[in-house]
Each structure stands twice: as C-alpha cells, then as structure tokens.
Amino acid sequence: MLTGSLDHLSDPSTNVPLPDQVDVAVIGGGPSGSTLASLVAERGHRVLVLEKDEHPRFHIGESLLPYNLPIFRRLGLEQELEAIGVRKPGVDFTTDDEEEHTHEIRFRDALDQAEGCDHAFQVLRSDLDRMMFEHAGRCGAHLAMNARVREVDFEAGDGVELEVEQEAARRRIRARFVVDASGRDCVLARRFGLQERNREHATAALYGHFRDVPRRGGEAAGNISIYWFDQGWIWMIPLPDNVMSVGAVCNPEYLRRRGRDVESFFHATIQRNRHAWERLSRGELISPITATGNYSYFSRRLDGERWLMVGDAGIFIDPVFSSGVYFGMHSAELGAEVILAELAGDRRASERARSQFRKRIRQGVNELAWLIYRFPTPAMRRLFLSSQTAFQIKPAVVSALAGDLYDNWRVRWRLRAFRLVFWLVSLADLPATLRSRRQRLKNARVEFDGGH
C-alpha cells in the first residue's frame, strides 16, 4: 500500500514526491474524488489523488441532502461532519409578492424516511473538502496538492499516462485506471469532446459570503432559504461562524447586463425580492462577488476503457435542490465498485458494476432534473407553496428532495402523479405557462461565460 503523509497538508511546499506508477489516478480532491479514493485505497490499492489547488480552498455548493448522511456513515465521517456543519432540518420557499408568502418543507415529513435521514447539514466547503481529502490519506491514498493534470494519454499501451505539473516541474505518471473528479474543469469530457451545454436549462449565477445576516427562528435557523424573483431564484445558506452564503441563479441574458460593478449589480438583484433584501441588507459582505455561467452541462458518456467520471466532472445541474455533493459522492461509491472489479480482473462483475453506474447516475439526475427545469414556473411555485398532501404526493416530493431517488417505488409513482398535477395546474394558467416556456427557450440561446 502506498500511503501519503498528512503532514504536508499544512505546508503545501513540503509535498511528498509523486509516485511513478499507481493503480488509480484520481483527478480532483473534492468530495467525489476523495470518496472514491478512500473506498479504493482502503482495499489495498495504490491510489493517487491529484488536487490542482491547496486545501483548504473556497468552493461553492455548501448545502447537503439527508441521503448524504448514510454515505458519511459508511466512510466513518459522520461525527466529523457534525462538528463542522450547521444542522439543516429543511427548506423554506418565499415568493416575491408584496406580502410575504413562505412555505417550509421539513425532511422529517418525507415518505418512507430512511433511518437518520430527517435532516442534513450546511457546511463550509473548505472545511468539508479538506476533511474528506485527509480521510482519503488515512485510508492509504497518496495525496498531492498544487498538482495540475496537463495531459492524459490513453495510447500508452495497456495503461494511462498523465502529465502532471507541480511546483513548476512536470513529470509523467502511469496508472492502470484514471478517474475524473475534477468538477467543472471536466478534464476528460473536454479531452474526449463529450461535454454539452444543457439546452433544457441554461442559467448563470452570482454569489458571495456575508456575515450577520439574520437566520430563521427556532429549529428553522439552519434551513436553506429559497426566494423567487422575476429573473430566477435566490439562495441563503446558513454556515458556521455566523456566515451566510447568498447567491442568485438568473436568466443568462439578465446577468449579461451586470457591467463592471458586479457587487452593485448583485445587491440590485437581491432587491428584486424585497423579503430577501430585508434580510441581506443587515449583513456585511466578507468575500468577493463571483459570477459564473454555463451553469448546467452533461457529458454524453460517463465511462470508458480505463476511465470514468464522477460528480460534476460528468454532469452538473442547477443547484436549487442542493444535490451536487450527494450526486458526487453517490457516483463515487458506484464508480469505486467498477474500479475494484476491474483491478481484480473480474470482467463479469465489472460489466455489472458499469451497468449499475450508468443507470443510477442518469436515473437520479433525470428524476430531480424534471423538478429543477420547472422550478421557475408559476405552476411549480403554486405547488411548492401548497399544503395539500392528497395521496401522500407532497411527502413523496419531500423524499425526492431529500435524495430518495432510486429504489423506492412508493416515492416514484407519486412523483409521476405530481407531474400530472403540475401539467393540470399549468393548463389552468396557460398564458403564464407559455411565457415561462419562452423564457427557457430564450435562455438556451444565450451564451454567458461568467467572470468576476
């Protein structure tokens, strides 16, 4: 087993030397890469995690789902997660009407709730990602920071060669298998020309961190708050140390108007929902405001001979339901099964694991994507603000938002019923439905590259 010392994490200049050869090279040291590296390394295989930055480092995507928690338990990290997180009992949604209309969803109201999945956590990703990166090291993975992959060569005989740049020096590393967990860098999707922009849902975003933004009262203090406005939706995520992550996911054409003063544009955007602005105006900005575009994309393939993609490296969808870290870690667990079978030379097990990997990733994303694509519509607003629970449809939607997206048929058939109800409500207000559809089509035609 090849084990990297953890001492170098506090001083990146003291990175231990990179190995010449490993079983698995993982590009990216975020939650998905670290999860996969932990699961494969603890089985005695030589795993190298190549992180282009230094931990701790900033990352967006700070809200987790309840179904993340069983994965953390399997990794042995539940107590460490609780120590760095803010307990998240649910989500509240607020309209942009003059009078405040807010509806709260509690995860404890989910249908067929799994044990221990009545809540989630909000986390500073700098803390979470470092915690999981270090755990991969304790499991036996070799850890490398400031290590950027410049080239991946699949023509190197029966292995893969990676050209890695670290501290201005380049070297080639040979691996039997390579995993792309590079997030939105999408190293392999770009290498193979597989990435496509999601034309069904094109949005862009602005975000930053604030201090002293008021939280909800009582148990709801850890809720993520979602506010609709005429150009998209706003998030407020309570984080440790009285920090609030605040962002706005917008129609890309609207965000192109931002000009050079991004901070002023951001505040003007939040003011488009007066209830969100009432909360934010009491806070202090403690980070730059960042703009990012091309927000939703997918790769036409997620795996191939000697490679696979996990997490955002393969698929990224709008973060309104906080699914990013969950999908990343779930795909990493499935990907680890593929790799372990391949390293063992068990072709039949490998084929089964690959089939499961492809099926479940697409299934989970597609199930939630249907809700995400229609979240800005008037009909979806009405349904999310409704307290109706006929046929237990609402608890089934809560289950889906908690991450119960795969094997529960009682949830899945009710989600189909929810779709029917959505279309009926949409037909009842056809002009508003058509306006919303035209906006989606318009978004798909607008290119937005982001930037500060």
Q: Are residues 314 and 422 in the same domain?
A: no
Torsions phi, psi for 270 (to 5 deg)? -65, -35
- Last residue in a domain, options 342, 365, 388: 365
Indicate the SS3 state at residue 158: coil
Q: Are residues 243 and 113 in the same domain?
A: yes
Query: For 354, how many CA atoms within 13 A lie in the half-sphere containing its CB?
Result: 17
Residues 119, 65: Cα–Cα separation, whole Å? 8
Report pLDDT digits (tens) over 129-146.
999 999 999 999 999 999
Strand partners, 291: 206, 451
CATH number of the CATH domain containing 158: 3.50.50.60
Report pLDDT digits (tens) over 216-259.
999 999 999 999 999 999 999 999 999 999 999 998 888 888 87
Contact of 272 with 229, CB cutoff 8 Å: yes
With a pLDDT cut of 90, the percent of the chain lying above it is: 76
CATH number of the CATH domain containing 397: 3.30.9.100
80 within domain boundaries: no
216 within domain boundaries: yes
Average pLDDT over residues 376-388: 87
Q: Are residues 130 and 177 in the same domain?
A: yes
79 within domain boundaries: no
What's the CA angle centered on 194, arms 64 and 359, to 5 degrees? 55
Contact of 46 with 19, CB cutoff 8 Å: yes
Written as one letter, the residue type at 276 is A
Q: Is the pLDDT of residue 439 over 90?
A: no
231 within domain boundaries: yes
Residues 98, 88: Cα–Cα separation, whole Å? 28
Contact of 316 with 323, CB cutoff 8 Å: no
Residue 209 neighbours by CB distance under 10 Å:
23
- Last residue in a domain, options 365, 384, 402: 365
Report pLDDT digits (tens) over 288-339.
999 887 668 899 999 999 999 999 999 998 888 999 999 999 999 999 999 9
Task: Name which of 150, 322, 332 is nearest 236 in CA terms.
Answer: 322
Report pLDDT digits (tens) over 333-366.
999 999 999 999 999 999 999 999 999 999 999 9
Label residue 111 left, alpha or beta by phi (over 0 means left) and psi (-120 to 50 means alpha): beta
What pLDDT sits at residue 449? 52
Report pLDDT digits (tens) over 2-20.
334 344 343 433 356 899 9
Element spanning 301, H or E: none
Q: Residue 135: which domain range?
A: 7-59+125-194+298-365
Residues 168, 388: Cα–Cα separation, whole Å? 60
Q: Are residues 143 and 55 in the same domain?
A: yes
Cis before residue 56, ω within 30 degrees of 0? yes
What pLDDT sits at residue 1? 32
What pLDDT sits at residue 447? 57
Q: Are residues 119 and 135 in the same domain?
A: no
70 within domain boundaries: no
370 within domain boundaries: no
Q: Are residues 115 and 136 in the same domain?
A: no
Residues 414, 311: Cα–Cα separation, whole Å? 27
Higher-pLDDT residue of 47 and 443 is 47
Q: Are residues 149 and 254 in the same domain?
A: no
Q: Are residues 119 and 129 in the same domain?
A: no
Q: Are residues 130 and 114 in the same domain?
A: no
What Rg value do the Cα atoms of the chain yield, rounded? Answer: 22
Q: Are residues 215 and 317 in the same domain?
A: no
Stretch among 28-37, 197-206, 282-291 having the lowest mean pLDDT: 197-206
329 within domain boundaries: yes
Q: Are residues 241 and 275 in the same domain?
A: yes
Instruction: Note the pTM of the prediction, 2 decimals.
Output: 0.92
73 within domain boundaries: no
What pLDDT sits at residue 15? 52
With a pLDDT cut of 70, the percent of the chain lying above it is: 94
Q: Are residues 332 and 452 in the same domain?
A: no
- Last residue in a domain, options 325, 345, 365: 365
Residues 109, 64: Cα–Cα separation, whole Å? 17
What pLDDT sits at residue 444? 64
Q: Is the pLDDT of residue 442 over 90?
A: no
Strand partners, 142: 48
Total domains in the fold of the chain: 2
